[in-house]
Amino acid sequence: MRALKLIARFYFDLFLADFLVSLSCVFLLAHLGNDAYKIIGVLFWYKVITIALVFYGALFYKKNELYYYQSLGVSKIQLLIATSVIDFLIWLLLIIIQMSAGIPGYILNLILGFVLLLHLYLYTKK
């Protein structure tokens, strides 16, 4: 249970960047409409590459903070795997919802606004 809390704490700082990439993928699918299935492969690799880049940025800029996680028993590999899986599942869920039901643009804007405000509120609270 402690490891999950530590992973959630680490993922919280990465969430906004990862979620914006996921929403950009969903927006592209919504924009293309019936031709959306043609770019699913491109969006998949776009997401995989951005997950790697965001995690690399976190490793580079939070080098000292990683010692905190390692001293509490959570390795870099565990952080990488857990945050990547969580982020990819969020992306996959949004893509499935978009492909099956379709999310109108104004709903995407509301979701984005809510997530940004929530993240700012929680980030300033720490």
Per-residue pLDDT averaged across 103-120, rounded? 76
Closest CA to 28 of 126, 94, 83: 94
Spatial contact of 111 and 42, defined as CB atoms under 8 Å apart: no
Per-residue pLDDT averaged across 105-122, rounded? 77
Domain boundaries, the chain: 2-125
Q: Which residue has the tokens 């690799």?
A: 45
Least confident piece of the model among 59-63, 82-86, 104-108? 104-108
Q: Distances from the Cα of 121 to the Cαs of 10, 23, 72, 83, in angstroms?
A: 17, 20, 27, 22
Neighbours of 121 (CB within 10 A): 9
pTM: 0.78
User: What is the pLDDT confidence band of residue 126, given thresholds at 50, 70 and 90?
Assistant: low
